[in-house]
C-alpha cells in the first residue's frame, strides 16, 4: 500500500473517531420525540447527551406524609366540561403528584415511569435557576439585578447581551432576537440543539445572538437568556451550576434522589432546560415556593425574591399583554403567571412539564409528560393544564374545608 493510501486510510479512520459520536447524537436528537419512544427517552436523557456528575440526594431526605383524595371527574375550559382522567391520558402524562399541608394527596405514574425515574424537566429548570440568582443576590455575589450582564461577563461585549440588565434577562425581556418555535426545524432553538449535539459550547452559541428590540419593552421567550444567567451565576459563585444548586437548595430541602444536568461537550450545565430529577423532588421545589422560600422554619430563598418571581411588574409582562408580548401568559423571574386571576403561577417546560403553585388553596401540583402532540397543540395544551390544575385545587379546597 502506498504512503498516500495509508495517509488517506488513517485520515478517514481519524474522521470516523472524531465525528461519529456527533453524528450519533444528531441522529438520536432527531428521533428524540417519536411517539413510540418519547416516554422512555424522557427518562433516559443520559443516553442521548453529555451529562454532569450527579447532584447528590440530601443526607436528610424529607418524606411527605401520604394522604388520599380522588381527582375531580371533570375540568372546565372556556365554558366546556372535559373528563380529567381522559385528558391526563391524552396529554401523555408520565407522573402526577399533588401536595397539600405537607401531605401527598395523590401520586401516580404511567408510561414506564415510577417514583425513582429521573425525568427531563425542560424549561421547568429555568425556575430553579431563578431561585439561585435570588440566593446569590442575597449573599452579595451579585450587586444588583439592574447591573448589565457584561459587568460579570465582559466577553459578551459586542453581542446581543451587551448592556442588557440581569432583570430584563430574568423577565425574558432582553430584546435579543430568537425563534423558539420547536415545530420549525430552522428555528434558533433547534439550531441550538443541533449545535450542542455537534459539540458547540453553550457560551459560543449565545455569543452569536443579536439584539432585536429595545430591552425591557417586550416580553419574548429566549431560552438562551437563562443560559446567560447561569454563566453569571457560575462566574460570581466560582463553581458549576450543579454544585451551587446542591449546596443552596438540593441538600437543604430534603431532596430524596440524585439528579443531573445535560451539559455541553465542555461539561457546562444546561440551565435552560437540562435538569433531570424525580417528580417528588420537583414537587418539593414547588412546596418551597408555596411557603415563600421557607423550608420548615429555614429561609432558603429570600421571601421578597419569591414574591417578585411571580409578580409581573410592567405592562409587557402582564397576561394578555397584546402587542407588548409574544406570550399570552404573564411572566416574572423565570416563572409563568397564567392570569385571570393573578394568584397562581407555574414553572413550565415543553411537552407539558409543570410545577404549579396555588397559594390560595395551598396546593402544589407537579406533572411530567411526554406529550408528542405538544408542537402542534402548544397553546391548547398549556391552557388545558392550567384549567385542570385549577379544577383540582378547587376540588381539594372544597373537600378539605
Q: How much is the pLDDT for 48?
A: 86
273-to-19, 147, 224, 260, 395 alpha-carbon distances in Å: 25, 25, 10, 11, 32
Q: Would you say residue 10 has pLDDT above 80?
A: no
User: What percentage of the chain exceeds 70 in pLDDT?
Assistant: 93
Quote the pLDDT of residue 379. 83
Grid coordinates belonging to 311: 409578580
Three-state secondary structure call for residue 394? helix
Q: Which residues contact 337 (CB under 8 A, 6 or more apart)?
A: 310, 311, 312, 319, 329, 330, 331, 344, 345
pLDDT at site 29: 62
How large a percentage of the chain has pLDDT more than 90? Answer: 86
Q: How confident is the model at residue 8 (pLDDT cuts 50, 70, 90)?
A: low
Q: Is residue 29 within 8 Å of 194, Cβ to Cβ?
A: yes
Cα(155)–Cα(347) distance, integer angstroms: 30
Residue 19 reports pLDDT greater than 50: no
Global pTM reads: 0.93
β pairing state of 103-109 and 65-66: parallel
Q: Determine which helix (DSSP H) or strand (DSSP E) holds 260, and give its type and residue range.
A: strand 260-263
pLDDT of residue 17: 44
Over residues 253-307, the pLDDT tens digits come to 999 999 999 999 999 999 999 999 999 999 999 999 999 999 999 999 999 999 9
Residue 2 is predicted with a pLDDT of 57
The structural domains of the chain, ordered by start, are 38-400 (3.40.710.10)
Q: Give the other-Cβ count within 10 Å of 343's Cβ.
A: 13
**Residue 27 binned pLDDT confidence (cut-offs 50, 70, 90):** low
pLDDT for the residue numbered 286? 98
> What pLDDT sits at residue 399?
85
Q: Is 187 exposed, middle or buried (0-12, 13-18, 19+ CB in 10 A)?
A: middle
pLDDT in tens, 303-356: 999 999 999 999 999 999 999 999 999 999 999 999 999 999 999 999 999 999
Measured CA to CA in angstroms, residue 110 lies from 93, 259, 283, 290, 318 at distances of 7, 20, 17, 26, 35
Compute the distance between CA of residue 260 and CA of residue 257 in angstroms, rounded to an integer. 10
What confidence tens digit (pLDDT) does each residue in 89-125 have?
999 999 999 999 999 999 999 999 999 999 999 999 9
pLDDT at 401: 76
Q: What is the pLDDT of residues 375-398, one digit of tens each?
A: 888 888 999 999 999 999 999 988
Taking all residues of the chain, what is their mean pLDDT, rounded to a whole number?
Answer: 93
Run of H or E residues at 147: none
- Identify the pLDDT of residue 4: 52
∠ CA 28-379-313, nearest 5°, is 110
Residue 15 has pLDDT above 50, yes or no: no
Amino acid at each position: 500500500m502506498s504512503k498516500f493510501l495509508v495517509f488517506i486510510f488513517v485520515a478517514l479512520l481519524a474522521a470516523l473517531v472524531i465525528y461519529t459520536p456527533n453524528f450519533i447524537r444528531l441522529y438520536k436528537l432527531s428521533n428524540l420525540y417519536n411517539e413510540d419512544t418519547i416516554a422512555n427517552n424522557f427518562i433516559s436523557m443520559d443516553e442521548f447527551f453529555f451529562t454532569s456528575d450527579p447532584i447528590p440526594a440530601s443526607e436528610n431526605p424529607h418524606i411527605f406524609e401520604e394522604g388520599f383524595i380522588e381527582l375531580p371527574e371533570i375540568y372546565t375550559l372556556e365554558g366546556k366540561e372535559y373528563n380529567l382522567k381522559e385528558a391526563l391520558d391524552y396529554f401523555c402524562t408520565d407522573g402526577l403528584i399533588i401536595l397539600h399541608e405537607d401531605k401527598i394527596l395523590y401520586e401516580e405514574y404511567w408510561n414506564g415511569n415510577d417514583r425513582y425515574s429521573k425525568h427531563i424537566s425542560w424549561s421547568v429548570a429555568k425556575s430553579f435557576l431563578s431561585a439561585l440568582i435570588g440566593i446569590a443576590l442575597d449573599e452579595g455575589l451579585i450587586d444588583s439585578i439592574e447591573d448589565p450582564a457584561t459587568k460579570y461577563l465582559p466577553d459578551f461585549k459586542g453581542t446581543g447581551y451587551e448592556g442588557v440588565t440581569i432583570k430584563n434577562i430574568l423577565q425574558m425581556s432582553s430584546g435579543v432576537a430568537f425563534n423558539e418555535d420547536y415545530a420549525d426545524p430552522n428555528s434558533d432553538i433547534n439550531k441550538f440543539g443541533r449545535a450542542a449535539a455537534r459539540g458547540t459550547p453553550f457560551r459560543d452559541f449565545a455569543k452569536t445572538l443579536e439584539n432585536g428590540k429595545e430591552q425591557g419593552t417586550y416580553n419574548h421567550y429566549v431560552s438562551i437568556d437563562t443560559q446567560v444567567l447561569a454563566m453569571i451565576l457560575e462566574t460570581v459563585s466560582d463553581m458549576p451550576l450543579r454544585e451551587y444548586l446542591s449546596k443552596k437548595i438540593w441538600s437543604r430541602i430534603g431532596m430524596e434522589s440524585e439528579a443531573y444536568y445535560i451539559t455541553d461537550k465542555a461539561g457546562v450545565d444546561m440551565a435552560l432546560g437540562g435538569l433531570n430529577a424525580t417528580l417528588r423532588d420537583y414537587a418539593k421545589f414547588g412546596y418551597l415556593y408555596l411557603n415563600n422560600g421557607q423550608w420548615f422554619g429555614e429561609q432558603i430563598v429570600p421571601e421578597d425574591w419569591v414574591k417578585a418571581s411571580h409578580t409581573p411588574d410592567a405592562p409587557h409582562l402582564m397576561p394578555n399583554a397584546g402587542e407588548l408580548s409574544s406570550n399570552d401568559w404573564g411572566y416574572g423571574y423565570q416563572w409563568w403567571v397564567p392570569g385571570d386571576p393573578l394568584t397562581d403561577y407555574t414553572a413550565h417546560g415543553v411537552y407539558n412539564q409543570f410545577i404549579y403553585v396555588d397559594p390560595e388553596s395551598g396546593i402544589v401540583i407537579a406533572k411530567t409528560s411526554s406529550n408528542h402532540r405538544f408542537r402542534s397543540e402548544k397553546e391548547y395544551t398549556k391552557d388545558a393544564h392550567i384549567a385542570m390544575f385549577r379544577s383540582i385545587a378547587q376540588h381539594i379546597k372544597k373537600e378539605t374545608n
